[in-house]
């Protein structure tokens, strides 16, 4: 048995030549800290990539890495780890990652800290514990979760970050020639309207590609139903996040009204949040985000989804590649996972931050067969990290 000897936190900031989701639209302005709000979904973004990383070292010297969101107020998350969590992790056996997660969750549970930054901190710690535990066992994370059910994971190209519809169509066509036949558009920057975008893509890409639309929580239930039905005429794969995140009834109404499968889940942290929606028949596809859930809750969400006949297509957001690697490892090992998001504007741009081991080519992801999550930060990434504690 090994013991956790050290838990360290880092913030990694990486410049971008173009904001996430593409150029700023009219009325979108970057403030002095680099934040700006997308008009399409009222959500704050940063004009750089930024992420929170956690390194766990055991008493035998083994090292594991974890990662969570760091876009907004990253010191909120690192402070939770360095001020509070660390003393409840040091000395524990990392092979008990799930139990450690539950103990940490219990610390603040009845005070209502059951999501947000607190759970982001738990997610980063959890991934690092699973990673180091698998490495000490000489296994990949997928093996630790029961073994690979599949060699590769189909991926869809997410977001078409170009300024005009014509350029977005050309961008998608370019990916099609590289063997990618599944796409998702981002409603927050679909300037010509979701229906027009899907229609133009369908005309250019042909009848066989799958096209999904992320509605970015922007609609009322009735509005979402009308929008989805209008897109269905052009062939719609799935409709993501149609209504506000809290509106479970509204999500269920949409999911039960349209022919198109409805997806949701990128903003949830725990299986408790998932169950409320699963039990309400509020979606057909769940999109867990490893950067928010960590491995323990990701596995729980996927198992609950599979047991209730809900398909799983994990979400992939802004990060250095650590939580992406964990998501892919878990995705290869868990039943019901039918695909995974691929954001070229994040993964390809940041691929120099992690060692070789993840590849997205010909429409599928491949990930190295361990040890642990299969990759780690490169010396280049290490040199750019700001150590917080």
How near is the Cβ of 162 to Mg ion at its closest, in Å? Answer: 18
Q: Are 374 and 350 in contact (CB under 8 A)?
A: no
Residue number with CB closer to Mg ion (126 or 214): 214
Of 131, 214, 289, 341, the one binding Mg ion by CB under 5 A: 214
Q: Which residues lie closer than 8 Å to 52 by C-beta, 6 or more apart? A: 9, 10, 11, 12, 67, 68, 69, 70, 74, 77, 78, 120, 124
How near is the Cβ of 370 to Mg ion at its closest, in Å? Answer: 29
Residue number with CB closer to Mg ion (40 or 363): 40
Q: Which stretch binds Mg ion (CB under 5 A): 21-29, 48-56, 140-148, 208-216?
A: 208-216
CA distance 262 to 230: 15
Residue number with CB closer to Mg ion (341 or 376): 341
How near is the Cβ of 327 to Mg ion at its closest, in Å? Answer: 14
How near is the Cβ of 292 to Mg ion at its closest, in Å? Answer: 12
How near is the Cβ of 317 to Mg ion at its closest, in Å? Answer: 8
Residue number with CB closer to Mg ion (197 or 214): 214
Residue number with CB closer to Mg ion (34 or 245): 245
Query: Please, which of residues 129-158 interact with Mg ion by CB under 5 A?
Result: none
Residue number with CB closer to Mg ion (131 or 214): 214
Residue number with CB closer to Mg ion (134 or 239): 239
49 binds Mg ion (CB under 5 A): no
Residue number with CB closer to Mg ion (144 or 343): 343
Question: 3-class SS at 337?
Answer: strand
Using alpha carbons, list the distances in angstroms from residue 229 to 173, 269, 314. 25, 30, 25
How near is the Cβ of 184 to Mg ion at its closest, in Å? Answer: 8
Q: Which residues lie closer than 8 Å to 368 by C-beta, 6 or more apart? A: 140, 356, 357, 358, 374, 375
Beta strands in 16-109 (DSSP E): 35-38, 43-46, 48-58, 63-69
Rounded to 5°, the CA angle 377-378-380 comes to: 120
Q: Are 56 and 63 in contact (CB under 8 A)?
A: yes
Using alpha carbons, list the distances in angstroms from residue 148 to 229, 262, 294, 313, 332. 38, 27, 19, 16, 5
Q: What is the largest distance, in Å, between two alpha-carbon atoms of the chain?
A: 60
Beta strands in the chain (DSSP E): 4-15, 35-38, 43-46, 48-58, 63-69, 153-158, 182-186, 210-214, 239-240, 262-264, 285-286, 311-312, 340-342, 358-361, 364-367, 386-387
DSSP string, 215-237: -TT-S-HHHHHHHHHHHHTT--S
User: Residues touching Mg ion: how many (CB under 5 A)?
Assistant: 1
How near is the Cβ of 254 to Mg ion at its closest, in Å? Answer: 15
How near is the Cβ of 331 to Mg ion at its closest, in Å? Answer: 17
Residue number with CB closer to Mg ion (223 or 245): 245
How near is the Cβ of 93 to Mg ion at its closest, in Å? Answer: 36
Q: Which stretch binds Mg ion (CB under 5 A): 134-142, 213-221, 274-282, 369-377?
A: 213-221
Beta strands in 265-321 (DSSP E): 285-286, 311-312
Residues in the chain: 389
Window 163-202: contact mask with Mg ion (x via CB under 5 A): ----------------------------------------
How near is the Cβ of 313 to Mg ion at its closest, in Å? Answer: 11
How near is the Cβ of 35 to Mg ion at its closest, in Å? Answer: 19
Closest to 291 measured CA to CA, from 238, 328, 255, 243 = 328
Q: Which stretch binds Mg ion (CB under 5 A): 212-220, 222-230, 276-284, 340-348?
A: 212-220
Residue in the shown chain whose Cβ atom is closest to Mg ion: 214
Q: Is the peptide bond before 371 cis (omega within 30 degrees of 0)?
A: yes
Q: Which stretch binds Mg ion (CB under 5 A): 81-89, 214-222, 231-239, 344-352?
A: 214-222
What residues does 63 pair with on adjacent strands? Answer: 57
Query: Please, which of residues 91-120 interact with Mg ion by CB under 5 A?
Result: none
Residues that bind Mg ion (CB under 5 A): 214
């Amino acid at each position: 048995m090994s013991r956790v000897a050290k838990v360290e936190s880092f913030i990694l900031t990486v410049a971008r030549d173009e904001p996430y989701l593409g150029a700023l639209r009219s009325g979108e302005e970057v403030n002095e800290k680099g934040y700006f709000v997308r008009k399409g979904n009222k959500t704050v973004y940063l004009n750089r990539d930024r992420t929170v990383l956690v390194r766990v070292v055991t008493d035998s010297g083994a090292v594991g890495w974890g990662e969570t969101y760091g876009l907004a107020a990253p010191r909120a998350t690192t402070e939770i780890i360095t001020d509070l969590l660390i003393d409840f992790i040091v000395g524990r056996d990392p092979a008990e990652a799930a139990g450690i997660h539950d103990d940490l969750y219990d610390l603040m549970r009845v005070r209502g800290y059951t999501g947000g930054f607190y759970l982001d901190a738990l997610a980063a710690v959890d991934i690092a514990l699973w990673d180091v535990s698998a490495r000490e066992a000489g296994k990949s994370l997928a093996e630790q979760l029961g073994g690979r059910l599949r060699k590769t994971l189909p991926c869809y190209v997410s977001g078409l970050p170009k300024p005009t519809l014509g350029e977005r169509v050309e961008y998608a066509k370019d990916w099609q020639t590289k063997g990618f036949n599944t796409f998702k558009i981002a409603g927050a920057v679909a300037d010509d309207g979701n229906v027009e975008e899907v229609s133009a893509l369908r005309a250019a890409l042909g009848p066989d590609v799958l096209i999904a639309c992320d509605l970015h929580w922007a609609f009322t239930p009735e509005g979402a139903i009308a929008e989805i039905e209008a897109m269905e005429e052009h062939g719609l794969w799935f409709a993501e996040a149609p209504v506000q995140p809290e509106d479970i009834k509204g999500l269920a109404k949409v999911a039960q009204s349209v022919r198109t499968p409805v997806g949701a889940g990128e903003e949830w942290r725990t299986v408790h949040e998932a169950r409320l929606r699963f039990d309400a028949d509020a979606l057909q596809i769940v999109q867990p985000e490893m950067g928010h859930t960590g491995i323990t809750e990701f596995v729980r969400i996927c198992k609950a989804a599979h047991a209730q006949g809900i398909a799983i297509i994990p979400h992939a957001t802004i990060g250095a590649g650590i939580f992406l690697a964990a998501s892919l490892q878990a995705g290869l090992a868990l039943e019901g996972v039918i695909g995974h998001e691929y954001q070229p504007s994040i993964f390809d741009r940041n691929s120099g931050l992690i060692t070789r081991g993840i590849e997205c080519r010909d429409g599928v992801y491949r990930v190295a067969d361990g040890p642990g999550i299969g990759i780690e930060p490169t010396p280049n990434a290490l040199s750019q990290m700001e150590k917080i504690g």
